[in-house]
Structure 1
Amino acid sequence: MLNDNLEALAKTIYDYWFVQFDFPDENGKPYKSSGGKMVYNEVLKREIPNCWEVKSLEDSFKIKKGTLITEKTANKDGKIKVVSAGVDFSYFHDRSNFAENTITISASGANAGLINFWREPIFACDCTTVRGKNLSETLFALEFLKSVQDHIFNQAKGSAQPHVYPKDIEILKYAEPSYVLLNDYGKLVTPLNQQISNNLKENQELTQLRDWLLPMLMNGQVSVK
């Protein structure tokens, strides 16, 4: 519940700054609402702040296909999650191929196009990964991709086995803010992301403790007073 609230807050900041364009102007006032100059963009079919450029994701972000691995070839005794095409991770492996804070987009099957975000190292398999040059950019890309989730789902091709390819992600268009504005955005949302990560680790540790204690409680090895 707490993490849901933190993620909702991050989305609200993104929407306010990069959808409504009411990021703080040079006077600290909401840009668009305070009369900031807007220009109509033919590509996005909407107004965007003056001097902002429209770019494709591939222009600014690292977009890569995962590495093929199977459950038979993975070392399932490891603790690294293998991310394929499901809603959650598929199984474990003993090494990662991407660091923490990586966006994944499922590549095939019923969930082709599903966006996920991993705050731990992962082994990306049947998915496309997206990362910025820094965490601020990655968190910006995450909110942008979530805002076009339905469009990405609609890109799934193939009747027997639907696929969403890296090229479907690379060509997505967005309005690029300035480096300074992205940096300021990062100062707000990076601590939220870190708190979510800390909460997830804490929950995992509590779950492991429960799984360790429960059998002993059941057979009477330990008791709760």
Structure 2
Amino acid sequence: MSNWKQTSIGEFIDFNPSESLPKNGKVKKIPMDRLGVFERKIKGYEFSEYKSGPKFRNGDTLVAKITPCLENGKTAYVDILDDEEVAFGSSEFIVLRENENSDSNFIYYLARSPLFREKAISCMEGTSGRKRVNEGALKRQEILVPNNKLEQQKIASVLSTIDDKIELNNRINDNLEQMAKTLYDYWFVQFDFPNENGKPYKSSGGKMVFNEVVKREIPEGWEVKSLYDIAEFINGLACQKYRPLNENEDYLAVIKIKEMNDGLSQNTEKVTVDIPEKHKIYDGDVLFSWSATLDVKIWSLGKGALNQHIFKVTSSKYPKYFYFFEISNYLQHFKMMAELRKTTMGHITKDHLIESRISVPPLKIITELEKIIDPYLENILTNRKQNQQLSDLRDWLLPMLMNGQVKVE
């Protein structure tokens, strides 16, 4: 540890550096919702006139300073701008920039570390629910850091290599998901599944029949059913009734809408393993959040317990890809209904599922596409599980690298 030094955060990092933006015209803005939970990559931007908010460039780190965003881990590395471009963001960001003492990538991982986060949280002030970091107090906090940038870069390189692989897997999955959706749409939305001669059915003059229920033409021999006809929708438990009796008891993570969207965290609740089997979640299960946030996803974060406000969707007749995409497509219909009514669709009921209407191909055609799409879905699931393992490894290494417990040669 002889090559590490004690310093204040304010001496090691520049806070909210001064930058200029044009007074007129729109520039790139990064709102709070474009930062994921413990995700390095920023999820895009919007264009807006600059009125207020911190300004930043590529290489800067954005840290949420307001509760609960700070506690939840909203911290990201800026790398989505053009060279020399300046953007701005939420007034609830702190911008961290390297100086002559520090490396930009090291700063990002320092800001993600429990060491930094605990100090930032200890500097929060204000009323409950609206607490913010006192930046002056945070700057005065003392930390132990490598004495030279080369050591900092070595540490950041270990962690960024893991994040690079995670982001590569995410890009691969995005492509696989797009390919699967494109095939599904080509076969079952455009109706150009292969005919008996291997030609696109509708484009090659396949017979279409007008259906009075769905008010459009569908291929001859297809049926009209409801979402409720093609799958079973199992609602979750009131999990508070199944809490473990003590810390040593085996448990399952409770999968609520937050976990479905953001993954597991230290705040994820637990239940005993002795819940009904139908309410247990496994990798590959289709989850459908039906209250407030309407979404459908394939679960990949290990065994869990199904909470209320989420359906686990299964089917004894139809393959997973078919009911997954059919529900995904119909969500747009539910959301459109809400938009037309200028209201928020509070939740989806059994009646909504029964009243829904979809065109269903013969099972033989569905099975043919399953042979093509299933490998895509399996690869997506494998990549997600690998990403979870990589995330666990990174999060295990992070605090030890940041306090010098593990040395990088």
| Short-chain TM bin | 0.7 to 0.9
Aligned partners of 1:187, 1:92: CA distance in 2, in Å?
38
Q: Residue 183 of structure 1 corresponds to which residue in structure 2? A: 367
Q: What are the equivalent positions in structure 2 for 1:42-57 lying under 5 Å apart?
A: 42-57=212-227
5 Å-filtered alignment, 1:54-93, equals: 54-70=224-240, 73-75=242-244, 78=251, 80-84=253-257, 87-88=261-262, 91-93=268-270
Match of 2:323 in 1: 141
Amino acid at match of 1:149: L
Q: Distance in 1 between matches of 2:354 and 2:281?
A: 19
Change (3 A) 1:89 1:107: farther
| SS in structure 1 at match of 2:396 | helix
Deviation sequence 1:118-163 (CA, Å, 0-9, x none): 24544222222322226x6221111112112232236679x89922
**Conserved in 2, the CA contact under 8 Å of 1:98 and 1:123?**
yes
Structure 1 residues 41 and 152: alpha-carbon distance in aligned structure 2, compared to 1, 3 A threshold? same
Q: Distance in 2 between matches of 1:78 and 1:9?
A: 37
Q: Scaled by the length of structure 1, what TM-score is found?
A: 0.84
Alignment of 1:186-201 (within 5 A): 186-201=370-385
C-alpha separation in 1, matches of 2:252 and 2:389: 14
Cα distance, 1:190–1:118 mapped onto 2, change above 3 Å: same
Give CA deviations for 1:24-74 in whole Å, capped at 9, x if unaligned: 11111111111111101111111111011111122221122222213x854
Whole-angstrom CA distance in 2 between matches of 1:123 and 1:167: 25
Which residue matches 1:18?
A: 188
Distance 1:65 1:41, change over 3 A: same
How many residue pairs match? The answer is 220
Using a 3 Å threshold, how does the CA distance of structure 1 residues 89 and 223 change in structure 2: closer, same or farther? closer
Contact between 1:80 and 1:92, CA under 8 Å: does it hold in 2? Answer: yes
The answer to which of 86-95 and 147-156 deviates more is 86-95
Q: 1:141 to 1:160 in 2, by over 3 A?
A: closer
Higher RCO structure (Cα 8 Å, ≥6 apart): 1
Matched with 2:335 is 153
Amino acid at match of 2:306: A
Contact map agreement 1:21 1:32 (CA 8 A) in 2: yes
* Amino acid paired to 1:97: K
The whole-number CA distance in structure 2 between the counterparts of 1:100 and 1:153 is: 27
Report which stretch shifted further, 196-205 or 84-93.
84-93
CA contact (8 A) 1:81 1:89 kept: no
Query: Does the CA contact (< 8 Å) of 1:128 and 1:166 recur in 2?
Result: no
Q: Provide the rounded CA distance (Å) in 2 between the counterparts of 1:32 and 1:62.
A: 31
Displacement after TM superposition at 1:116 (Å): 2.6
Contact 2:334-2:345 at 8 Å conserved across structures: no
One-letter amino acid of the counterpart of residue 216, structure 2: R
C-alpha distance in structure 1 between counterparts of 2:334 and 2:281, whole Å: 22
Distance 1:172 1:121, change over 3 A: farther
Shift of 1:188: 0.9
Write the mapping of 1:101-112 to structure 2, written as runs, cut at 5 A: 101-109=284-292, 111=293
Give 5+ residue unaligned stretches, structure 1.
none
Cα–Cα, structure 1 residues 198 and 160, in superposed 2: closer, same or farther, change >3 Å? closer
Aligned to 1:203: 387
> Larger C-alpha radius of gyration, 1 or 2?
2
Matched-pair contact (CA < 8 Å) for 1:6–1:192: yes
- Tell me the residue number matched to 2:152: none
Please give the alpha-carbon distance, in whole angstroms, between the structure 2 residues aligned to 1:3 and 1:214.
26
Unaligned runs of 5+ in 2: 1-170, 274-278
Secondary structure of the structure 2 residue equivalent to 1:32: coil
Q: What is the CA-CA distance between 1:106 and the residue it aligns to? A: 2.0
C-alpha contact (below 8 Å) 2:252/2:305 kept by paired residues: no
Counterparts of 1:92 and 1:203, CA distance in 2: 22
Which letter does structure 2 place at the counterpart of 1:166?
A: K
Aligned CA-pair RMSD: 2.8
